[in-house]
Amino acid sequence: MSIVTFPALADSSGTYDIDGMNPDGSTYQASVLVSKVGDTFSVTYSLDDRKVMGTAIGDDDVLAIGYGEADDSGVALMYRDGKRWQGVWSYLGAKQLGTEEWQPR
Protein backbone atom coordinates (compact mmCIF):
# COMPACT_ATOMS: atom_id res chain seq x y z
CA MET A 1 0.00 0.00 0.00
CA SER A 2 1.25 3.44 -0.90
CA ILE A 3 0.31 6.64 0.85
CA VAL A 4 0.63 9.89 -1.05
CA THR A 5 1.09 13.09 0.92
CA PHE A 6 1.03 16.64 -0.32
CA PRO A 7 2.89 19.57 1.21
CA ALA A 8 0.88 22.21 2.99
CA LEU A 9 0.02 25.00 0.62
CA ALA A 10 1.32 28.48 1.38
CA ASP A 11 -1.10 31.38 1.61
CA SER A 12 -1.12 33.69 -1.43
CA SER A 13 -4.26 35.49 -0.27
CA GLY A 14 -4.72 39.15 -1.05
CA THR A 15 -6.23 41.75 -3.34
CA TYR A 16 -4.34 42.58 -6.51
CA ASP A 17 -4.69 45.15 -9.30
CA ILE A 18 -4.50 43.57 -12.76
CA ASP A 19 -2.95 44.92 -15.96
CA GLY A 20 -3.91 42.51 -18.71
CA MET A 21 -3.68 41.97 -22.43
CA ASN A 22 -6.28 40.06 -24.42
CA PRO A 23 -5.19 37.65 -27.17
CA ASP A 24 -6.13 40.31 -29.76
CA GLY A 25 -3.68 42.81 -28.21
CA SER A 26 -6.25 45.03 -26.49
CA THR A 27 -5.51 45.87 -22.86
CA TYR A 28 -7.65 45.97 -19.74
CA GLN A 29 -7.46 46.71 -16.03
CA ALA A 30 -9.26 44.78 -13.33
CA SER A 31 -8.76 43.46 -9.82
CA VAL A 32 -8.72 40.03 -8.22
CA LEU A 33 -9.34 38.83 -4.67
CA VAL A 34 -7.56 35.59 -3.74
CA SER A 35 -8.73 33.90 -0.51
CA LYS A 36 -7.46 30.68 1.06
CA VAL A 37 -10.24 28.07 1.42
CA GLY A 38 -8.96 24.79 2.83
CA ASP A 39 -6.35 23.41 0.44
CA THR A 40 -7.53 25.65 -2.43
CA PHE A 41 -8.02 29.34 -3.12
CA SER A 42 -11.21 31.17 -4.02
CA VAL A 43 -10.52 33.63 -6.85
CA THR A 44 -12.90 36.52 -7.63
CA TYR A 45 -12.10 38.72 -10.60
CA SER A 46 -13.77 42.16 -10.82
CA LEU A 47 -13.90 43.29 -14.45
CA ASP A 48 -15.87 46.43 -15.28
CA ASP A 49 -19.29 45.79 -13.72
CA ARG A 50 -19.09 42.00 -13.48
CA LYS A 51 -17.50 39.43 -11.21
CA VAL A 52 -15.98 36.16 -12.42
CA MET A 53 -15.52 33.35 -9.89
CA GLY A 54 -12.85 30.69 -9.91
CA THR A 55 -10.83 28.20 -7.90
CA ALA A 56 -7.06 27.89 -7.75
CA ILE A 57 -4.59 25.30 -6.56
CA GLY A 58 -0.96 26.04 -5.90
CA ASP A 59 1.44 27.48 -3.40
CA ASP A 60 3.33 30.68 -2.63
CA ASP A 61 4.99 30.68 -6.08
CA VAL A 62 2.48 29.24 -8.59
CA LEU A 63 -1.31 29.32 -8.96
CA ALA A 64 -3.29 27.24 -11.46
CA ILE A 65 -6.74 28.80 -11.82
CA GLY A 66 -9.98 27.59 -13.36
CA TYR A 67 -12.74 30.18 -13.73
CA GLY A 68 -16.10 30.55 -15.36
CA GLU A 69 -19.31 32.38 -16.00
CA ALA A 70 -22.64 31.03 -17.22
CA ASP A 71 -21.53 31.08 -20.87
CA ASP A 72 -17.73 31.00 -20.68
CA SER A 73 -14.88 29.33 -18.81
CA GLY A 74 -11.11 29.35 -18.86
CA VAL A 75 -7.82 28.68 -17.15
CA ALA A 76 -4.90 30.79 -15.97
CA LEU A 77 -1.39 29.97 -14.80
CA MET A 78 0.23 32.59 -12.59
CA TYR A 79 3.70 32.66 -11.05
CA ARG A 80 5.15 34.95 -8.39
CA ASP A 81 7.86 37.39 -9.45
CA GLY A 82 8.89 39.22 -6.30
CA LYS A 83 5.77 40.90 -4.90
CA ARG A 84 3.84 40.71 -8.17
CA TRP A 85 2.32 37.82 -10.09
CA GLN A 86 2.63 37.25 -13.85
CA GLY A 87 1.00 34.71 -16.08
CA VAL A 88 -1.09 33.63 -19.01
CA TRP A 89 -4.75 32.74 -19.48
CA SER A 90 -7.06 31.30 -22.11
CA TYR A 91 -10.77 30.71 -22.65
CA LEU A 92 -12.17 27.27 -23.40
CA GLY A 93 -11.49 26.47 -27.06
CA ALA A 94 -9.20 29.46 -27.69
CA LYS A 95 -6.02 29.15 -29.73
CA GLN A 96 -4.15 32.16 -28.30
CA LEU A 97 -3.11 33.33 -24.85
CA GLY A 98 -3.79 36.51 -22.93
CA THR A 99 -1.38 37.81 -20.29
CA GLU A 100 -1.80 39.36 -16.86
CA GLU A 101 0.33 41.04 -14.24
CA TRP A 102 -1.01 41.35 -10.70
CA GLN A 103 0.30 44.02 -8.30
CA PRO A 104 -0.63 43.80 -4.61
CA ARG A 105 -2.73 46.65 -3.24
> Does 103 score more than 90 pLDDT?
yes
> Does 11 score more than 80 pLDDT?
no
Question: For residues 1 and 68, which has the higher predicted lDDT (pLDDT)?
Answer: 68
b/e sequence 71-93, b meaning 16+ C-beta within 10 Å: eeebbbbbebeeeebebbbebee
pLDDT tens sequence across 12-44: 899 999 999 999 999 999 999 999 999 999 999
> Does 99 score more than 80 pLDDT?
yes
Could you please state the CATH topology (level 3) that the domain comprising 14-98 is classified under: Lipocalin (2.40.128)
Q: Is 0.95 topped by the overall pTM?
A: no
**Which sequence spans correspond to the domains of the chain?**
14-98
Question: What pLDDT score does 54 carry?
Answer: 98
Average pLDDT, the chain: 91
